[in-house]
């Protein structure tokens, strides 16, 4: 049994964690922590409850909407239902829609999903392609780092036991940007990604000026694959460019074989899904995809729609 | 086209579904059969237990409380195969709060199971990861678990075998070396011959041949096994258990533990689902009773979800190597099956899955010659139970894929091939199955029409879409696997006028209480809410085999109807006196007896009951019945009419396959089921929709993934049960053939709908991709590999034993 410390401020959380290093664990929505606790993967003496910290919650648009700050306690369901993010960070909303069930999404938080360090987690790939930074509070104050640097290995982040993820900050160009998150699963809902893929492109005229490609579930940590993104930059995102990005992403990842797929299968699927996600991101960036309409999980529209 | 021999009720979703096909099924305008002549039968009656369940007021075994109740916990083997050198429980016994620690060294127990090859607490060897070794009863769960960790077991780990083909090789480690009656790990043989397959093969214009495999799957009830046992001060034992076969349970408890079965009461609390997993007794039941005996206190044992996966019985993998041959016109000539059933560590009822699987090989469609050579292998894995469908989904996966392969080879439409060979009323199959009512052809025609089969199959490969069909035969009028296949019923009417049905049958959530109450209400002319069903206590209820084989509506329904008719006749006898009218001129409607020719002369049934009871020399209205269907145990050659009726049905599945990821999306599922008569159409639809969903799980996602004998992820997530998102709209058509022996013509439907789903989906995947699935579940990486290989993934498996041309021993 663990005792619960209900923190009143971020500073109080950090101080408590510092005073109980190694025996305390922050708990946000609890959708991972409670399962880990039941299964004996964690044995905290103290759970530090973050749910009353309003400073951690909320989606806030700044600089005329060019920047969005997402508090770490923001529920996945809030991301899913945010209409502005739906238009301008489609990958993030798509990933949010696919995470667990409505009940789980109503409890689970973006910070919890990131800090649990699960390689197949839904939140990292879309946040990576939207160039997220994370703000971390610790005993010596706040620091900001690129999200890609947060992950240390399966189930691990670089955060110290007395550090707390406070918020994420994403830059959202107001036009000419599109993104997409796709994944492979065994069933079509309530599943973990066997492969998760996000792509984002910025388009000027008919040319890709910037691109990002991120992968989940195919390496010890979520990956940002620059060489795959580079295959898209400077192109009109024709089929050849998308396929090349897929090939490069497949070459860059290091999946394992387990009960949810083989190494070679996962590599093949990375190539396929990167290609599709890049194409859908392009369609969105160029206004050819209906606004606010999510892509099917595997990126294939039902054939009667195609 | 209209159905030829029966009435059809078309599912409520037809309007939407018909858009898919080019022609509407014109049967939807047909009237449902004779429904107007009934007061209750054929009505959409909500399940009687539904309000309590949906409002959380139902009491399950885990909700029971009683003074001094202890919590039990089981220590399970971490090894797939090991000799037990010693067990030391002394430290665990010393832990405060522990009231009993039991193991083979301090209990009295005898072998149980079909082959008497199992012990509740293992003495010399463990044979799978999860095998029961010791158990504790303590004041709470945490203490019990702490005590388990203090039990020291010294194992000598032995080589293990997990693959049934390897298990049948001479060099394999022998799992049951204590059994001198068998050779190696060959625990049973099921060999059957009808006609001359080899001669028939010489006449065949086309022969198709292939391998078809299925995985280890689980029944996954949402309520895990929970058992409570308590001894009275005078030694009488009461067990609360969600088991289906309560009377056999009582007998086996007594036999194994050396108890007097006259001093055992079995009470079945509300059951939170079973799907066959709770059919009969297993180690955890004996262990709970032993803990109660050793502690002198009532004990509850509640399995965790992980234990439910790792420590209970499963659906056994069955590997078929099948050949089917036909002449040039498409008349089936023979089927030839070499089968290996991977039944795990012990022989529970799962060792008999071939009993039902064999019916499909020999009797699905008219097949004059057939041969089955089946080996049941012991392996160091969880052992087979009798999960819904009982061997039939596995057999149908082989047989019905081969029908479409055969049709393609003949250049025929698979539906035409099926219709040409379809079983018909009046057939007696070579195995001796007497086909009485049979709506198979109508079921095939309906799903053919609704799915747009003729226009669409084979035309959608460019869009990676496909249609696939599968039909099935399954016992629907009991299944005689025991000396009796009967069920008793008592109907009583006391002074209140309320009618109580005391039935041997059990409610598992399948709706039997509601259906039986409807049968009684119809027969007695009373409203459904005047009937109370009592069905949970062996001290009270009359004998029944138990819930299995889709038999309850048919067998318990006939018993209830007979008892209700006898009770009604007693009431009419009294009413006849009161109304001064011969009983034959009376009728009962809505609980009132009236003179048919002059309904103004009437008397309420409750008053009749009181007038019969409350007088000198009066009597209570009570009638009993026992119905045992006119069937036979199969002989040593597996011939005989095992069931008094057979259910038939056909499904068409439509899938879209993503060749990039191998993900399969099920788009549509059309079903048509010959249910004899729908006593409660809503209940039938529920069984069919639920069964279809379970079949979809089997087809696409459900599997206990086992590495080196260990179920790697025993949880609801990784197991892969389908969610609502994975289950498309299921179109349900109820075909009513009005069975001559069924209650009001009804046949069993409980298992039916899952049986053809893996085969139909596989056929649809083959239509969509051109490659033929050889195994299920069709998880994405397998489908992708098949597509990329560009040909059928001929499973490398062959039955280890070549076809034995001689007769078989029946194990």
Contact B466, B655 (CB under 8 A): yes
Contact B392, B472 (CB under 8 A): yes
The pLDDT of residue B250 is above 70: yes
Which of B244, B231, B307, B301 is CA-nearest to residue B64?
B301
- Measured CA to CA, the distance from residue B601 to residue B655 in angstroms comes to 62
- Asked if the model's pLDDT at residue A151 lies above 60, the reply is yes
- Per-residue pLDDT at B195 exceeds 90: yes
Q: Is B716 touching A (CB cutoff 8 A)? A: no
Q: Is B198 helix (H, G, I), strand (E, B) or coil?
A: helix
**Confidence at residue A292, expressed as pLDDT on a 0 to 100 scale:** 83
Residue A271 covered by a domain: yes
Checking if the pLDDT of B17 tops 80, the result is no
User: How much is the ipTM here?
Assistant: 0.96
Per-residue confidence at A145, pLDDT binned at 50, 70, 90? very high
- Per-residue pLDDT tens over the stretch B290-338: 999 999 999 999 999 999 999 999 999 999 999 999 999 999 999 999 9
**What kind of fold does domain B50-58+486-627 have according to CATH?**
Aldehyde Oxidoreductase; domain 4 (3.30.365)
Select from B371, B415, B409, B416 the least CA-distant residue to B204: B409
Positive or negative: CA dihedral B244, B247, B250, B254: negative
> In the 3-class helix/strand/coil scheme, how is B623-640 assigned residue by residue?
EEEEECCCCCCCCCCCCC
Percent of chain A with pLDDT over 70: 98
Written as one string, the DSSP assignment of B495-558 is: TT--EEEEES---SSSSHHHHHHHHHHHHHT--GGGEEEE-SBTTTSPPB--S-TT-IIIIIHH
Q: Do B465 and A188 touch (CB under 8 A)?
A: no
Nearest-Cα distance to chain B for A184, in Å, is 7
Query: What is the domain range of residue A275?
Result: 177-285
Closest by Cα among A294, A298, A301 to A93: A294
Q: Is residue A239 assigned to a domain?
A: yes
For residue B777, whether the previous peptide bond is cis, meaning omega lies within 30 degrees of 0, is yes
State pLDDT tens for residues A91-119.
999 999 999 999 999 999 999 999 999 99
B20 DSSP 8-state letter: T
User: Does residue A298 lie in a domain region?
Assistant: no
- Cβ-defined contact of A188 to B718 (cutoff 8 Å): no
CA atoms within 13 A of residue B340's CA, in its CB half-sphere: 27
Q: Tell me the pLDDT tens digit for each residue of A47-64.
A: 999 998 988 999 999 998
How many residues comprise chain A? Answer: 306
Q: Which residues pair with A136 in a beta bridge?
A: A143, A165
pLDDT of residue A306: 55
pLDDT of residue A304: 60
Tell me how far CA of residue B25 lies from CA of B12, B13, B420, B449, B452, in angstroms.
Answer: 13, 12, 21, 6, 10
Report the pLDDT averaged over residues A280-284: 96
Residues 6+ apart with CB under 8 A from B225: B242, B277, B278, B282, B284, B301, B302, B303, B308, B312
The predicted structure's pLDDT at residue B21: 35
CA A293 to chain centre: 19
Mean pLDDT of all residues in B480-494: 95
Interface probe, candidates A36, A187, A190, A274, chain B, greatest B C-beta count within 10 A: A187
Using CA atoms, how far residue B728 sits from A46, B21, B181, B688, B689, in Å, is: 45, 16, 49, 13, 10
Compute the distance between CA of residue B175 and CA of residue B167 in angstroms, rounded to an integer: 9
CB proximity B660 to A under 8 Å: yes
A306 in a domain, yes or no? no
How far is A245 from A237, CA to CA, in rounded Å?
10
pLDDT tens digits along A203-223 = 999 999 999 999 999 999 999
The DSSP H or E segment spanning B472 is strand B465-475
Supply the DSSP string of A244-267, one letter for each residue: HHHHHHHHH-----BTTB-HHHHH
Q: Does residue A209 sit within a domain?
A: yes
Whether B792 contacts B774, CB under 8 Å: yes
Q: How confident is the model at residue B433 (pLDDT cuts 50, 70, 90)?
A: very high
A259: nearest CB among B465, B661, B713: B713
Rounded Cα distance between A43 and A37, Å, is: 6
* Inside any domain, residue A257: yes
Which residue reads 């598992």 in tokens? B508
Is A167 a domain residue?
no
Which residues in B lie closer than 8 A to residue A187 (C-beta atoms)? 700-701, 720, 722-723, 725-726
Contact predicate A80/A74, CB 8 Å: no
pLDDT at B810: 33
Task: Report residue B808's pLDDT band, with 50, 70 and 90 as the boundaries.
Answer: very low
- Could you please report the per-residue DSSP string of B364-408? SS--SEEEEEEEEE--SSPPB---TTTTHHHHHHHHHHHHHHHHH
Strand locations in A131-250, DSSP E? 133-138, 141-146, 151-153, 156-157, 164-171, 177-184, 195-204, 207-216, 223-224
CB contact under 8 A, A273 and B661: yes
Shortest Cα distance, chain B CAs vs residue A191, angstroms: 7
Cα B222-B228-B229 angle, rounded to 5 deg: 155
CATH 3.90.1170.50 spans which residues of chain B? Answer: 64-158+222-273+278-310
pLDDT exceeding 90 applies to what percent of chain B?
92
Q: Model confidence over B172-191: pLDDT tens digits?
A: 999 999 999 999 999 999 99
Name the average pLDDT for chain B. 92
**pLDDT confidence tier of residue A259, bands split at 50, 70 and 90:** confident
Whether the CB of B464 is below 8 Å from some CB of chain A: the reply is yes
pLDDT at res. B353: 94
CB B341 within 8 A of CB B384: yes
Interval B247-270 mean pLDDT = 96
Q: Which fold has domain B7-31+314-480+633-789?
A: Aldehyde Oxidoreductase; domain 4 (3.30.365)
Q: What pLDDT is attached to residue A305?
A: 57
CATH of the domain at A275: 3.30.390.50
Separation between Cα atoms, residue B162 and residue B183, nearest integer Å: 17
Look up residue B740 and give its two tokens: 């001559």
Q: Using the 8-state DSSP alphabet, how is residue B102 labeled? A: E
| DSSP calls for B558-576 | HHHHHHHHHHHHHHHHHHH
The confidence score (pLDDT) of residue B37 equals 82
What average pLDDT does the segment A168-181 reach? 93
Distance CA B456, CA B451 (A): 8
Q: What is the mean pLDDT of residues B112-134?
A: 97
B150: CB partners within 8 A, 6+ apart: B91, B92, B95
Q: Are A55 and A49 in contact (CB under 8 A)?
A: no
Tell whether the model's pLDDT for residue B629 goes beyond 60.
Answer: yes
Tell me whether residues B663 and A184 touch, CB distance under 8 A: yes
Contact A261 B718 (CB under 8 A): no
Residues, chain B:
811
Q: What are residue A198's phi and psi, to 5 degrees?
A: -130, 145
Using one digit for the tens of pLDDT, what is the confidence trace for B612-623?
Answer: 999 999 999 999
Q: Report the phi/psi class of residue A160: left, alpha or beta, with left for phi > 0 and alpha for psi in -120 to 50.
A: beta
Task: Give me the CATH topology for the region B64-158+222-273+278-310.
Answer: Aldehyde Oxidoreductase; domain 3 (3.90.1170)
Set of chain B residues whose Cβ sits within 8 Å of the Cβ of A262? 781
Of A191, A192, A298, the CB nearest to B658: A298
- Between CA B107 and CA B256 the distance in angstroms is 11
pLDDT band at B8 (very low <50, low <70, confident <90, very high): low
Q: Which residue of A has its CA nearest to B697?
A: A187
B513 versus B36: the higher-pLDDT residue is B513
Q: Which residues of B313-332 are buried (b: 16+ CB within 10 A; e: fewer)?
A: bbbbbbbbbbbbbbeeebbb
Q: Look up residue B480 and give its two tokens.
A: 């005689």
Q: Which residue of B has its CA nearest to A191?
A: B717
* pLDDT band per the 50, 70, 90 thresholds, residue A126: very high
Q: Which CA distances in Å does B212 have to A38, A67, B276, B357, B774?
A: 39, 56, 23, 13, 5
Nearest CA in chain B to A306: B463
Please give the mean pLDDT across all residues of chain A. Answer: 95
pLDDT at B16: 35
pLDDT reading at B32 higher than 60: no
How many percent of chain B have pLDDT more than 70?
93
Q: Residue range A25-29: average pLDDT?
A: 96
pLDDT in tens, B54-67: 999 999 999 999 99
In a domain, A113, yes or no: no
Mean pLDDT throughout B553-561?
Answer: 98
Domain with CATH 3.30.365.10 in chain B: 7-31+314-480+633-789, 50-58+486-627
The Cα–Cα gap between B801 and B169 comes to 9
Nearest-5° angle of CA B59, CA B62, CA B64? 60
C-alpha distance from residue B369 to each of A174, B201, B203, B634 (Å): 73, 10, 12, 18
Q: Residue A77 has what pLDDT?
A: 98
Q: Which residues of B touch A260 (CB under 8 A)?
A: 718
* Residue B19 predicted with pLDDT over 70: no
């Amino acid at each position: 049994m663990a005792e619960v410390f209900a923190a009143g401020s971020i500073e109080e959380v950090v101080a408590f964690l510092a005073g109980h290093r190694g025996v305390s664990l922050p708990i946000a929505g609890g959708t991972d922590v409670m399962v880990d606790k039941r299964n004996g993967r964690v044995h905290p003496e103290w759970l530090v409850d973050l749910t009353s910290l309003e400073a951690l919650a909320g989606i806030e648009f700044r600089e005329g909407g060019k920047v969005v700050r997402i508090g770490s306690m923001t529920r996945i369901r809030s991301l899913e239902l945010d209409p502005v993010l739906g238009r301008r960070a489609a990958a993030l909303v798509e990933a949010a829609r696919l995470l667990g069930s409505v009940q789980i999404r109503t409890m689970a938080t973006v910070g919890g999903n990131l800090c649990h360090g699960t390689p197949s987690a839904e939140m990292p790939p879309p946040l990576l392609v939207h160039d997220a930074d994370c703000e971390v509070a610790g005993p010596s104050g706040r620091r900001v780092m690129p999200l890609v640097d947060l992950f240390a290995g399966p189930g691990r982040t670089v955060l110290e036991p007395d550090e707390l993820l406070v918020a994420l900050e994403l830059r959202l160009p107001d036009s000419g940007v599109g993104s997409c998150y796709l994944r492979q699963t065994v069933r079509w809902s309530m599943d973990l990604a066997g492969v998760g893929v996000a792509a984002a492109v910025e388009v000027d005229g008919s040319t890709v000026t910037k691109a990002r490609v991120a992968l989940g579930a195919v390496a010890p940590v979520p990956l940002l694959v620059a060489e795959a993104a580079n295959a898209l930059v400077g192109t009109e995102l024709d089929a050849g460019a998308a396929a090349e990005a897929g090939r490069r992403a497949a070459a860059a990842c290091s999946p394992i074989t387990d009960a949810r797929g083989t190494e070679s299968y996962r590599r093949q699927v990375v190539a396929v899904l990167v290609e599709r996600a890049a194409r859908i991101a392009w369609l969105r960036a160029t206004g050819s995809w209906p606004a606010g309409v999510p892509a099917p999980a595997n990126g294939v529209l039902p054939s009667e729609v195609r | 086209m209209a159905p030829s021999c029966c009435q059809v009720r078309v599912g409520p979703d037809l309007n939407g579904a018909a858009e898919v096909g080019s022609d509407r099924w014109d049967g939807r305008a047909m009237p449902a059969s004779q429904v107007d002549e009934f007061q209750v039968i054929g009505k959409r009656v909500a399940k009687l237990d539904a309000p309590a369940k949906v409002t959380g007021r139902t009491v399950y075994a885990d909700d029971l409380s009683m003074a001094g109740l202890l919590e039990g916990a089981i220590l399970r083997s971490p090894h797939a195969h090991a000799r037990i050198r010693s067990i030391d429980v002394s430290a665990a016994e010393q832990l405060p709060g522990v009231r009993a620690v039991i193991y083979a060294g301090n209990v009295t127990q005898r072998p149980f199971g079909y082959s008497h090859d199992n012990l509740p607490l293992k003495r010399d060897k463990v044979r799978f990861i999860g095998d029961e070794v010791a158990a504790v009863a303590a004041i709470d769960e945490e203490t019990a678990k702490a005590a388990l960790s203090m039990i020291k077991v010294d194992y000598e780990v032995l080589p293990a075998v997990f693959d049934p083909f390897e298990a049948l090789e001479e060099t394999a480690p022998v799992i049951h070396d204590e059994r001198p009656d068998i050779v190696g790990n060959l625990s049973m043989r099921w060999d059957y011959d009808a006609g001359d397959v080899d001669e028939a093969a010489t006449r065949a214009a086309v022969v198709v041949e292939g391998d078809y495999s299925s995985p280890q799957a689980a029944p996954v009830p949402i309520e895990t096994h929970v058992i409570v046992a308590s001894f009275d001060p005078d030694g009488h034992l009461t067990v609360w258990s969600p088991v289906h076969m309560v009377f056999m349970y009582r007998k086996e408890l007594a036999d194994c533990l050396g108890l007097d079965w006259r001093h055992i009461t079995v009470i079945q609390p509300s059951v939170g689902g079973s799907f066959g997993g709770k059919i009969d007794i297993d180690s955890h039941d004996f262990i709970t009773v032993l803990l109660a005996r050793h502690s002198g206190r009532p004990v509850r044992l509640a399995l965790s979800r992980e234990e439910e996966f790792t420590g209970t019985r499963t659906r056994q993998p069955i590997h078929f190597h099948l050949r089917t041959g036909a002449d040039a016109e498409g008349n089936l000539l023979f089927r030839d099956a070499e089968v290996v059933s991977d039944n795990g560590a012990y022989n529970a009822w799962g060792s008999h899955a071939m009993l039902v699987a064999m019916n499909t090989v020999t009797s699905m469609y008219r097949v004059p010659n057939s041969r089955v050579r089946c080996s049941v292998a012991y392996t160091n894995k969880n052992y087979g139970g009798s999960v819904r469908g009982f061997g039939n989904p596995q057999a149908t996966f082989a047989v019905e894929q081969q029908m479409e392969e055969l049709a393609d080879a003949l250049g025929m439409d698979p539906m035409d091939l099926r219709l040409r060979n379809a079983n018909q009323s009046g057939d007696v199959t070579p195995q001796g199955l007497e086909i009485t009512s049979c709506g198979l052809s109508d079921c095939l025609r309906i799903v053919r029409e609704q799915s747009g089969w003729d226009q669409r199959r084979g035309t959608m490969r460019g869009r990676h879409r496909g249609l696939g069909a599968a039909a099935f035969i399954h016992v629907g009028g009991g299944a005689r696997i025991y000396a009796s296949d009967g069920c008793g019923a008592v109907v009583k009417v006391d002074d209140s006028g309320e009618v109580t049905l005391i039935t041997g049958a059990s409610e598992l959530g399948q709706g039997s209480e509601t259906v039986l109450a409807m049968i009684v209400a119809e027969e007695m002319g009373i409203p459904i809410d005047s009937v109370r069903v009592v069905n949970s206590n062996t001290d009270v209820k009359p004998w029944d085999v138990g819930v299995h084989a889709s038999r309850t509506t048919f067998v318990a329904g006939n018993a209830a109807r007979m008892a209700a008719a006898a009770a009604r006749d007693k009431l009419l006898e009294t009413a006849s006196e009161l109304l001064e009218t011969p009983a034959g001129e009376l009728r009962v409607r809505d609980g009132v007896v009236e003179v048919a020719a002059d309904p103004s002369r009437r008397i309420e049934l409750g008053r009749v009951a009181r007038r019969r009871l409350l007088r000198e020399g009066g009597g209570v209205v009570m009638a009993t019945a026992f119905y045992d269907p006119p069937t036979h145990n199969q002989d040593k050659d597996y011939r005989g009419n095992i069931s008094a009726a057979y259910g038939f049905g056909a499904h068409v599945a439509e899938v879209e396959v993503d060749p990039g990821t191998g993900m399969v999306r099920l788009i549509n599922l059309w079903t048509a089921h010959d249910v004899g008569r729908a006593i409660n159409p809503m209940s039938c639809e529920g069984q069919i929709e639920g069964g279809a969903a379970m079949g979809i799980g089997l087809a696409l996602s459900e599997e206990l993934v086992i590495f080196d004998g260990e179920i790697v992820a025993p949880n609801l997530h990784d197991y892969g049960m389908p969610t609502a998102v994975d289950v498309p709209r299921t179109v349900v058509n109820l075909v009513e053939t009005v069975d001559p022996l069924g209650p009001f013509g009804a046949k069993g439907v409980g298992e039916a709908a899952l049986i053809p789903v893996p085969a139909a989906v596989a056929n649809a995947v083959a239509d969509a991709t051109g490659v033929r699935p050889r195994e299920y579940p069709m998880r994405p990486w397998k489908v992708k590999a098949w597509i990329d290989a560009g040909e059928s993934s001929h499973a490398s498996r062959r039955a280890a034993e070549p076809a034995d041309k001689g007769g078989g021993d029946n194990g």
